[in-house]
Every structure is written in structure tokens, then in C-alpha cells.
């Protein structure tokens, strides 16, 4: 009996490794089956998420923002942490007008990827809509200097252009000029882009760079009416009168409806004709110009209601009206021939009148504008 039990025990001992191997095989098979099912489930979830995401992108591109929000939210049910899903949902929310919700998503994405240019660009746009200019400028700068993929490099230019527009709207012309110079350096000779840059330089008051940009446009398209008008305007502001006259004449010829260029052309011609300090002008013609300028300034002074000046505030200096009235009898062609030094005295008063009335009654037109431009040309000389 004992020997029988011992024999059975030995038999079980011999079978134990086989049983362990069998159990191990079963366990491995079960593990592989579970893993396979899990992967299949995950793949199915990912496929469903991608399907909803693709629908969302199509709706977003078609500006069906409400549908896009629904699509992206459905996609996030299958992949809650998917970066691209959250980013596109934020864009759809912006399109739908839900800026606060979009902001929350974007700030979360910015924490995850601080160098994402698109996130910074969208944050900047929301900050603009909120009226938070300083934050908008900061986010625009982040977008400009972000690492954009090659296929999205145009977004960097868009970010800088939007920043420039924001600065110009807020009167920050010096900052806008710096951004424009940086942008111009990154652009090629494309006439369309150069024309836009030229227009922005005009708005920023950088007439030198504006003239350069429009000149580049005209090299490619000599009859471009907008570029001719812009170049003429810039040259006039730079007081390059013969160049301004040339461009403005061409602009009016290219576009008969360009009233602004036509008016600037008239102003340019008036400045060239009414400047008594230009060289090689006959004395008789100079005297006629001074008399005409003096009379024009007097009419401007009469039409502009200047603030009352008390004796105490005026001091020893006469008012413009008094000064003009006292000098008037002497400012004739005969008087100027007898006393050539009167020309400087008369023109100094003309320039004072045009500057002061411009400050009180706004920018003048016609001959008064020409005299104001001449005054600015000779300021400090």
C-alpha cells in the first residue's frame, strides 16, 4: 500500500512541470487575447475619434461652427487628451463666439506646448476682442517668433500683419514701423505683398520705406495705379516735389477717379509755384508770390476763429491779427522792391498764421495747405 502511494506521488511529481507549462501557456494566451481585445478596442476608439475629428475639420472649414463644436466634443470622448482635437475645438468655439471657453482650452494647450504659434495667435485674437491690448501684443510676439512648420509659415506673416494693424489702430506708429521693417525684410519681391507693405508704411508715417516699397511694385508693374498714387503721396510727404509731381501725374492718368491723387498733385504744383525761397526765381515773380501768400494768410486768419488773447498772456508780442494789419500796408510789390528785407518778415508771419490756424481750425486745403507745407519745409532754416 505504501509503495503504491509512493508510486502515485512520484507520478504527480513527474507531471508537475508539464502542468506548470500548460498553465503558463494558458495564462500567456489569455494575456495575449486580452491585450489584443484591448488594442482592438483602443483602435476602434481612435478610429471613431478620427472620424468625428475629420467631420469637425470639414464643418470648421465650411464655417459650420456649431456642428464643428459638436464633432470635436464627440472626438474628445474617445481621446480626451488629444492636442489637435482640443485646438480645433477652441477654434470652433471662437467661431461660435464662445471666447471664454476657447480661452480655457487655449491656455491649457499653451501650458502643454508654450511654443505653439497657432495657440499664441488665437490667444492674441481673443485678447484683441477683449480690448486687452498689452496681452494681445505679447501673444502676437509669441506667435511671430514661434517655431512654425514650413507649410504654416504664412501664419507667421499673418500674425505680424495683425500685430501691425493693432499697433496702428492704437496710434503706436513707432512700434508699427519697427514691425513693418522686420516684415519687409522677410518678404520677397512679390508686387502684391510690396503694395500692401507700402500702404502700411504710409499709415505708419514711414514715407521713406513706403516710397521704396511702391518703387519695387512699379519695377514689376509700371502702370500700377495704386502704387503710383502711394509713391506720389510718399514723395510729397518727403518734400521730393518733382518726384511727387511725376508719380501723381501718372496716378491720375492711370485712374481718372483718383480724387485724392488729383488733389495732391494740385498741392504739389502749388508748393512748387508758391515757394518764394526757391532758387533762380526772378525778383518780380518772388514779390508777387509774397504778396499773394500774405493775402491768403490774412483770409485764413479772418476765417479761423482764434482764441481770445489777453494783454497779460500776449505780453509784448502783438496778436497775429494785429501783426498782419500793421504789416499789410507795406506788403505790396512796390514795397518789397523798396525794402527786400520785408520778404522774410512777411513770410515769417505767413508761416506763423498757417501753423497756428492749422492747430486751431484743422488742416487747411488748397493754397493754405501749400503754404503750410512750405512753412514746414523751411522750418529752422
Q: CATH 1.25.40.10 in the chain: give the residue spans.
A: 171-274
Q: How many Cβ atoms sit within 10 Å of the Cβ of residue 192?
A: 10
Contacts of 286 (CB under 8 A, 6+ apart): 276, 343
- Which among 133, 135, 129, 87 is positioned nearest to 110, based on CA atoms? 87
Q: What does the pLDDT read at residue 31?
A: 53
Global pTM reads 0.77
Position 35 scores a pLDDT of 53
> What size, in residues, is the chain?
381
Residues 348 and 354: beta-carbon distance below 8 Å? no
CATH of 171-274, one of 1.25.40.10, 3.30.390.30, 3.40.50.261, 3.30.479.10: 1.25.40.10
> According to the model, what pLDDT value does residue 310 have?
52
**What is residue 312's predicted lDDT score, i.e. its pLDDT?**
47
Angle, helices 225-237/207-220, rounded to nearest 10 degrees? 150
Sequence-separated (6 or more) residues with CB below 8 Å from residue 119: 87, 106, 109, 110, 113
- Give the pLDDT score at 59: 85
pLDDT score of 77? 86
Instruction: Give the integer Cα–Cα distance in Å for 300 and 291.
Output: 14
Let me know: does 71 contact 53? Beta carbons within 8 Å: yes
pLDDT tens by residue, 338-348: 999 999 999 99
Q: Are 268 and 236 in contact (CB under 8 A)?
A: yes
Q: Are 357 and 304 contacting, i.e. CB atoms less than 8 angstroms apart?
A: yes
| Contact present, 261 and 214 (Cβ < 8 Å) | no
Could you tell me if 256 and 228 are in contact, meaning their C-beta atoms sit under 8 angstroms apart? no
Q: Which of 345, 344, 351, 334 is nearest to 297 (CA)?
A: 351
* Residue from 122, 128, 98 nearest 110 by CA: 122
Cα–Cα distance, 34 to 337 (Å, whole number): 112
Residue 362: other Cβ atoms inside 10 A: 9
Q: Which residues fall within 8 angstroms of residue 353, CB to CB, at 6 or more apart? A: 297, 298, 300, 301, 320, 324
Provide the residue-wise pLDDT of the chain in tens; the chain has 381 residues. Answer: 556 666 565 555 555 665 655 556 555 555 554 554 555 546 666 777 788 888 888 988 898 989 988 988 888 888 888 888 888 989 999 988 899 999 999 999 999 999 999 999 999 999 999 999 999 999 999 999 998 888 888 999 999 999 999 999 999 999 999 999 999 988 877 899 999 999 999 999 999 999 999 999 999 999 999 999 999 999 999 999 999 999 999 999 999 999 999 999 999 999 999 999 988 899 999 999 999 999 999 999 999 988 876 544 555 568 999 999 999 999 999 999 999 999 999 999 999 999 999 999 999 999 999 999 999 998 765
The H or E element that residue 196 is part of is helix 191-204
What local confidence, expressed as pLDDT, does residue 52 receive? 84
DSSP character for 151? G
Separation between Cα atoms, residue 73 and residue 106, nearest integer Å: 15
| Cell numbers 493754405: residue | 368
Q: Average model confidence (pLDDT) for the chain? A: 88
> Which burial class, exposed, middle or buried, applies to 269 when counting CB atoms under 10 A from its CB (0-12, 13-18, 19+)?
middle
Q: Determine the pLDDT at residue 180.
A: 96
Per-residue pLDDT tens for 39-60?
Answer: 554 666 677 778 888 888 898 8
CA distances 107 to 30, 66, 67, Å, are: 44, 22, 23
- The three-state secondary structure class of 163 is helix
Q: Which residue has the cell 509503495?
A: 3
Q: How many CB atoms lie within 10 A of CB 284?
A: 11
Amino acid at each position: 500500500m505504501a509503495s503504491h502511494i509512493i508510486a502515485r506521488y512520484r507520478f504527480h511529481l513527474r507531471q508537475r512541470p508539464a502542468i506548470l507549462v500548460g498553465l503558463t501557456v494558458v495564462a500567456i494566451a489569455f494575456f495575449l487575447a486580452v491585450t489584443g481585445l484591448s488594442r482592438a478596442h483602443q483602435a476602434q476608439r481612435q478610429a471613431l475619434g478620427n472620424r468625428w475629428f475629420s467631420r469637425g475639420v470639414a464643418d470648421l472649414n465650411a464655417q459650420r461652427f456649431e456642428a464643428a463644436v459638436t464633432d470635436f466634443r464627440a472626438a474628445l470622448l474617445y481621446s480626451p487628451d488629444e492636442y489637435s482635437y482640443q485646438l480645433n475645438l477652441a477654434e470652433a468655439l471662437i467661431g461660435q463666439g464662445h471666447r471664454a471657453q476657447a480661452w480655457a482650452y487655449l491656455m491649457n494647450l499653451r501650458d502643454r506646448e508654450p511654443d505653439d504659434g497657432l495657440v499664441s495667435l488665437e490667444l492674441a485674437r481673443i485678447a484683441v476682442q477683449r480690448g486687452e491690448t498689452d496681452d494681445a501684443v505679447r501673444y502676437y510676439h509669441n506667435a511671430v517668433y514661434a517655431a512654425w512648420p514650413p507649410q504654416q509659415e504664412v501664419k507667421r506673416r499673418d500674425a505680424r500683419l495683425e500685430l501691425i494693424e493693432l499697433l496702428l489702430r492704437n496710434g503706436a506708429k513707432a512700434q508699427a514701423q519697427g514691425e513693418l521693417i522686420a516684415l519687409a525684410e522677410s518678404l520677397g519681391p512679390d508686387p502684391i505683398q510690396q503694395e500692401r507693405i507700402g500702404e502700411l508704411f504710409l499709415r505708419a508715417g514711414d514715407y521713406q520705406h513706403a516710397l521704396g516699397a511702391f518703387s519695387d511694385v512699379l519695377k514689376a508693374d509700371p502702370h500700377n495705379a495704386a502704387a503710383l498714387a502711394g509713391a506720389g503721396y510718399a514723395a510729397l510727404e518727403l518734400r521730393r516735389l518733382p518726384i511727387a509731381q511725376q508719380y501723381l501725374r501718372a496716378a491720375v492718368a492711370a485712374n481718372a477717379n483718383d480724387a485724392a491723387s488729383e488733389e495732391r498733385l494740385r498741392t504739389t504744383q502749388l508748393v512748387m509755384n508758391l515757394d518764394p525761397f526757391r532758387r533762380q526765381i526772378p525778383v518780380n515773380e518772388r514779390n508777387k508770390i509774397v504778396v499773394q501768400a500774405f493775402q491768403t494768410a490774412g483770409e485764413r486768419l479772418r476765417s479761423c476763429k482764434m482764441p481770445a488773447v489777453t494783454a497779460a498772456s500776449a505780453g509784448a508780442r502783438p496778436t497775429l491779427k494785429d501783426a498782419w494789419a500793421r504789416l499789410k500796408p507795406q506788403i505790396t510789390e512796390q514795397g518789397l522792391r523798396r525794402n527786400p528785407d520785408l520778404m522774410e518778415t512777411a513770410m515769417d508771419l505767413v508761416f506763423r498764421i498757417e501753423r497756428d490756424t492749422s492747430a486751431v481750425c484743422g488742416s487747411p486745403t488748397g493754397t493754405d495747405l501749400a503754404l503750410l507745407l512750405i512753412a514746414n519745409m523751411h522750418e529752422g532754416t
